[in-house]
């Protein structure tokens, strides 16, 4: 006889990060025929439990449902992040993402398949709303891991993806014009001063409530493990708002914005990509887990490494600490997970207890602007 459970039995009300206990029966799909000891889980940045693109499910919820019903883990995760990529109200990812300094939306993404030990990525891709699907096509249809710029767009065209002239929405274009107004392009300053002016103009829009702080840096990372212990991951972004055209951050780079080892686990990031690139933190986190550390402890080691290596005065706040946010979303092959961050932040997760938004474990108190 099939067991019927109430919503209350499935929803965990705790707001503290940690591994959720399995419910008496899975919320989505059928229980595995063979109990492996793995707790299926999908973890992502907090926007994975916000945007629905007009549907009824968030990204982590959809990914977990598909995964537990038998879909390939990577297919499920990409379907989940597609909700963010295609949602015009999400200004940090995909369609309607905040553009570069020239007003052009350039997108980055990469994906890794643990069981197949394959990966693919794109950087500086223009005209395709869901770059994660192009990254997957690179993985499946080429002998390469990363395609960039015009070559990535031509590859997407050849693979049948629709190429659009402009991925701006009315909102993203309006915000770009406001940023241009604040920068005042009539003043040709020396490179250092102009760079600071561009950054300050963007951050002033965050302070004025025009841009969500997490959207200024953009990005969604989503990682998952099914009941068989199969681990995959995907990261996708519109990158740093108002970036220099052609800039690629950590999101499309294996070992930085995402790293998956099918024998160990996965890690991905959001936040200041340059800080993550310098330290290759996702790779570091997975290697720390390989040596026996928990997801939380592995992530905190990466954050400490970033803090130690951040020495330029322009990157430090008044307390001499990193003046930027950086978060990692981590799970191991057993289904244990953690969200960690430089300062207070949140992450999303979906298990048999349903989708939740939880607090990350911060390395430092306060916030980067202190």
Is the per-residue pLDDT at 207 higher than 70? Answer: no
Lowest mean pLDDT among 93-102, 197-206, 333-342: 197-206
Residue with tokens 């702080």: 213
Q: Are 318 and 369 in contact (CB under 8 A)?
A: no
Q: Are 285 and 330 in contact (CB under 8 A)?
A: yes
Q: What is the pTM of this model?
A: 0.84
pLDDT at 27: 41
pLDDT at 209: 64
CA distance 336 to 264: 11
Which tens digits make up the pLDDT trace of 239-281? 998 898 999 999 999 999 999 999 999 999 999 999 999 999 9
Q: Which of 291, 222, 224, 223 is nearest to 39 (CA)?
A: 224
pLDDT at 346: 95
Is the per-residue pLDDT at 217 higher than 50? Answer: yes
List all residues 6 or more positions away from 281 whose beta carbon is below 8 Å from its beta carbon: 256, 267, 269, 302, 303, 305, 306, 326, 328
Q: Which of 92, 342, 340, 100 is nearest to 217 (CA)?
A: 92
Is the per-residue pLDDT at 19 higher than 50? Answer: no
89 in helix, strand or coil?
A: coil
The DSSP 8-state label assigned to residue 20 in this structure reads P
pLDDT at 37: 87
At 41, list the tokens: 């889980």
Q: Which of 268, 236, 265, 266 is nearest to 252 (CA)?
A: 236
Which tens digits make up the pLDDT trace of 30-78? 434 444 689 999 999 999 999 999 999 999 999 999 999 999 999 999 9
Is the per-residue pLDDT at 188 higher than 50? Answer: no
CA distance 235 to 109: 5
pLDDT at 369: 66
pLDDT at 206: 62
List all residues 6 or more positions away from 356 whose beta carbon is below 8 Å from its beta carbon: 11, 12, 20, 49, 348, 349, 350
At 238, list the tokens: 């519109």
Q: Which of 112, 113, 62 is nearest to 84 (CA)?
A: 62
Lowest mean pLDDT among 45-59, 162-176, 192-206, 218-232: 192-206
Query: Residue 193 catalytic?
Result: no
Is the per-residue pLDDT at 233 higher than 80? Answer: yes
**Residues listed for the chain:** 370
Q: What is the DSSP string of 149-215?
A: HHHHHHHHHHTT----S----HHHHHHHHHHHHHH-TT----HHHHHHHHHHHHHHHHHTTSS-HHH
- Complete domains list, the chain, with CATH: 30-169+211-362 (3.60.20.30)
Residue 5's alpha-carbon distances to 22, 41, 302, in angstroms, are: 13, 20, 40
Question: In the predicted model, what is the mean pLDDT of residues 111-126?
Answer: 98
List all residues 6 or more positions away from 299 whose beta carbon is below 8 Å from its beta carbon: 267, 285, 328, 330, 338, 339, 340, 361
Which tens digits make up the pLDDT trace of 146-184? 999 999 999 999 999 999 999 999 999 989 888 887 775
Pairwise pLDDT comparison (142 vs 196), residue with the higher score: 142
Lowest mean pLDDT among 4-13, 44-53, 310-319, 341-350: 4-13
At 204, list the tokens: 């002033």
Percent of the chain with pLDDT over 70: 81
Find the catalytic residue in 4, 56, 169, 219.
Answer: 219
Half-sphere exposure of 72 (CA within 13 A, CB side): 12
CA distance 73 to 81: 13
List all residues 6 or more positions away from 270 whose beta carbon is below 8 Å from its beta carbon: 45, 214, 217, 218, 219, 220, 221, 237, 326, 327, 329
Mean pLDDT for the chain? 86
Q: Which of 264, 270, 318, 273 is nearest to 295 (CA)?
A: 264
Pairwise pLDDT comparison (370 vs 8), residue with the higher score: 370
pLDDT at 196: 64
Which tens digits make up the pLDDT trace of 282-332? 999 999 999 999 999 999 999 999 999 999 998 999 999 999 999 999 999
């Amino acid at each position: 006889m099939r067991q019927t459970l109430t919503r209350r039995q499935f929803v965990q009300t705790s707001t503290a990060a940690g591994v959720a206990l399995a419910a008496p029966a899975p919320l989505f799909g059928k229980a595995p025929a063979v109990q492996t000891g793995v707790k299926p889980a999908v973890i992502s940045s907090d926007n994975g439990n916000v945007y629905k693109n007009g549907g009824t499910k968030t990204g982590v919820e959809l990914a977990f449902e598909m995964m537990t019903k038998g879909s390939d883990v990577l297919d499920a995760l990409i379907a989940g992040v597609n909700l963010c990529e295609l949602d015009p109200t999400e200004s940090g990812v995909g369609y309607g993402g905040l553009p570069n300094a020239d007003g052009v939306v350039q997108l980055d993404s990469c994906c890794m398949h643990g069981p197949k030990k394959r990966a693919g990525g794109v950087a500086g891709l223009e005209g395709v709303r869901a770059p994660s699907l192009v990254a997957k096509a690179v993985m499946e249809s080429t002998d390469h891991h990363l395609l960039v710029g015009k070559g990535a767009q031509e590859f997407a065209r050849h693979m049948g993806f629709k190429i659009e002239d402009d991925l701006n929405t009315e909102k993203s274009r309006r915000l770009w014009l406001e940023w241009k107004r604040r920068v005042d392009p009539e003043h040709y300053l020396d490179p250092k001063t102009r760079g600071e002016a561009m950054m300050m103009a963007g951050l002033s829009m965050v302070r004025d409530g025009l841009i969500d702080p997490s959207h200024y840096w953009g990005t969604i990372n989503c990682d998952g493990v099914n009941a068989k212990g199969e681990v995959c991951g995907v990261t996708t972004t519109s990158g740093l708002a108002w970036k220099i055209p052609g800039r690629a951050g950590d999101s499309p780079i294996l070992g930085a914005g995402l790293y998956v080892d099918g024998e160990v686990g996965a890690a991905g990031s959001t936040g200041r990509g340059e800080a993550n690139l310098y330290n290759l933190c996702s790779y570091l986190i997975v290697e720390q887990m390989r040596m026996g550390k928990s997801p939380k402890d592995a992530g905190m080691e990466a954050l400490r490494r970033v803090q130690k290596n951040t020495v330029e005065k322009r990157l430090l706040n008044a307390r001499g600490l990193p003046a930027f946010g950086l978060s990692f979303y981590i799970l191991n092959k057993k289904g244990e997970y953690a969200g960690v961050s430089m300062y207070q932040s949140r992450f999303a997760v979906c298990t048999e207890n349903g989708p939740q938004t939880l607090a990350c474990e911060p390395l430092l108190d306060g916030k980067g602007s202190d």
